[in-house]
Amino acid sequence: MIAPDAAIATRVPYEVYFDADIYAREQERIFRGPHWTYVALDSELPNPKDFKTSFLGDTPIVVTRAADGELHAFINKCAHRGALVCREPRGNKATHQCVYHQWSYDLAGNLIGVPFRRGIEGKGGYGPDFDTGALGLTKLRVDAYSGLIFVTADPEVESLFDYIGPQMRPWIDRVYRKPTRILGYTRQFVRANWKLYAENIRDPYHASLLHLFHTTFGIYRSSQGGGIILDETGRHSFLRAFKRTEAEETESYKAADLRTYKEEYSLEDPSLLRSRAELTPELTNSIQTIFPGLVLQQIANTLATRQIVPKGPNAYELIFTYFGYADDDDEIAAIRLKQANLVGPGGYISMEDGYATEIVQQGIVEDRSGASFMELGGTTNESDENLITEASLRAFWTYYNRLMDIHAA
């Protein structure tokens, strides 16, 4: 048996992607453990009494804004018999009532109403020691950073500010520099383990090799400049790409003779890619991940969060929340909608991601002795000024294994 930390990062045993026991342990140690999970944007809950349902791993939760403007979050499970209390995805309510026996709760999750508590005509009901104070919904800690709302089930975990950390905060601030406006949602259900997507978004190697849209239409070649930034735990990452000069790009592609270097096609309507500079520094793409389930993307002028929601060992759901800024003018609003073609389930440069994770899941089926190979750019896991590296994946797996104690196959 190889020591857990050393080998796991470059040889990830395939069974972590399908084993039901490992999945159950992840729910406990990762999603219900000492981590903050992204659940909403603050502009989704602008008014008192607004609520939104979401997930903490598998667990259904509700995030609410109370009358005083404070955010609250609780597990969406009645304290009485376990029924889902909140049965709508979003809305505005002063109280939340379980339909089964009409137990009702305030916006902080406190139990405030129990029908027939004293019985009828002195018969039935609850005894004198019945304590509504002890029977609320299970409350979660909730906090927001720059407009992103997170929850945690762990009472001890560090503050959200510290959890995001000094390496990641500036990149969130870069995008969340002013109030946002929600533009819409897309969702996709993918038949693969959630960590395959966690890898995918940390993996700059595949960008120009799997996603052929830009290169096919001669928009850019992928030897564009860029790099990765990791936080000190390795669990979060920031991947950025910017344009290099045309000559540099073309030469390195011709030299490599890749199928992705083609010049013969062009878009009939290139307005799709007409962008407007708006963020500093200017980047063509930036993909930031906050462990375990948030991706914050800026691809040209499309801004979105992606929420990775595990749905058992062999499936995950990906929820895109697209946004602009509250003060967007008509031109930038139109650019964002047009460029939404680039991302999401039908995105020109993102539809392949879900599919890539599925073909891995299909390929490794029940292989309990094999492991994936992650040595691109060496075996270390540090920030780097290039994109031909798997350092960010190794960092993810190193951190994961510190939590999960998986041994190499």
Partner 1 sequence: MLLDKPNRSPAELLCALTALNAEYARAIDSGDLEAWPRFFVQSARYAIIPRENAALGLPVALMLCIGTPMMCDRVAAIRRANIFAPHVYRHIVGMSVVLEDSPTVVRTSTNFAVFQTLLDPIDYGKTITYAVGEYQDVIEVAETFRFRERVVITDTAKIPTLLATPI
- Nearest distance in Å: CB 299, partner 1: 14
Give the interface segment with partner 1, choosing from 70-78, 102-110, 342-350, 397-405 (CB under 8 A): 342-350
Q: Rounded to whole angstroms, how far apart are CA atoms 104 and 111?
A: 6
- Nearest distance in Å: CB 354, partner 1: 5
Q: Please tell me whether residue 376 binds partner 1 under the rule CB under 8 A.
A: no
Q: Please tell me whether residue 205 binds partner 1 under the rule CB under 8 A.
A: no
Looking only at residues 238 through 267 of this chain, which bind partner 1 when binding is defined by CB under 8 A? Answer: 265, 267
User: Which C-beta is closer to partner 1: that of 144 or that of 212?
Assistant: 212
Q: Please tell me whether residue 129 binds partner 1 under the rule CB under 8 A.
A: no
User: Which C-beta is closer to partner 1: that of 131 or that of 269?
Assistant: 269
Q: Please tell me whether residue 182 binds partner 1 under the rule CB under 8 A.
A: yes
- Nearest distance in Å: CB 55, partner 1: 13
Q: Can you give the chain as a three-state secondary structure string? A: CCCHHHHHCCEEEHHHHCCHHHHHHHHHHHHCCCCCEEEEEHHHCCCCCEEEEEEECCEEEEEEECCCCCEEEEECCCCCCCCCCCCCCEEECCCEECCCCCCEECCCCCEEECCCCCCECCECCCCCCCCHHHCCCCEEEEEEECCEEEEECCCCCCCHHHHHHHHHHHHHHHHCCCCEEEEEEEEEEECCCHHHHHHHHHCCCCHHHHCCHHHHCCCCCCCCEEEEEECCCCCCEEEEEECCCHHHHHHHHHHHCCCCCCCCCCCCCHHHHCCCCCCCCCCCEEEEEECCCEEEEEECCEEEEEEEEECCCCCEEEEEEEEEECCCCHHHHHHHHHHHHHCCCCCCCCHHHHHHHHHHHHHCCCCCCCEEECCCCCCCCCCECCCCCCHHHHHHHHHHHHHHCCCCC
- Nearest distance in Å: CB 4, partner 1: 32
Q: Under rule CB under 8 A, how many of the chain's residues touch partner 1?
A: 37
Pick the binder of partner 1 from 108, 112, 157, 351 (CB under 8 A). 351
User: Which C-beta is closer to partner 1: that of 22 or that of 210?
Assistant: 210
Cβ 80 vs Cβ 74: under 8 Å: no
Pick the binder of partner 1 from 107, 190, 201, 299 (CB under 8 A). 190
Q: Please tell me whether residue 286 binds partner 1 under the rule CB under 8 A.
A: no
Q: Please tell me whether residue 337 binds partner 1 under the rule CB under 8 A.
A: yes
Pick the binder of partner 1 from 130, 161, 189, 373 (CB under 8 A). 189
Q: Please tell me whether residue 180 binds partner 1 under the rule CB under 8 A.
A: no
Q: Please tell me whether residue 341 binds partner 1 under the rule CB under 8 A.
A: yes
Q: Rounded to whole angstroms, how far apart are CA atoms 246 and 224?
A: 9
Q: Please tell me whether residue 220 binds partner 1 under the rule CB under 8 A.
A: no
Residues 6+ apart with CB under 8 A from 153: 31, 32, 33, 56, 59, 140, 141
Q: Please tell me whether residue 325 binds partner 1 under the rule CB under 8 A.
A: no
- Nearest distance in Å: CB 219, partner 1: 10
Instruction: Spell out, one character per residue from 60 to 99, where the chain touches partner 1: x when CB under 8 A holds, - when not.
Output: -----------------------------x----------
- Nearest distance in Å: CB 324, partner 1: 10
- Nearest distance in Å: CB 37, partner 1: 20
User: Which C-beta is closer to partner 1: that of 19 or that of 353?
Assistant: 353
Footprint on this chain of partner 1 (rule: CB under 8 A)? 89, 182-191, 210, 212-213, 216-217, 265, 267-269, 272, 317, 322, 337-338, 340-341, 344-346, 348, 351-352, 354-355, 358, 362
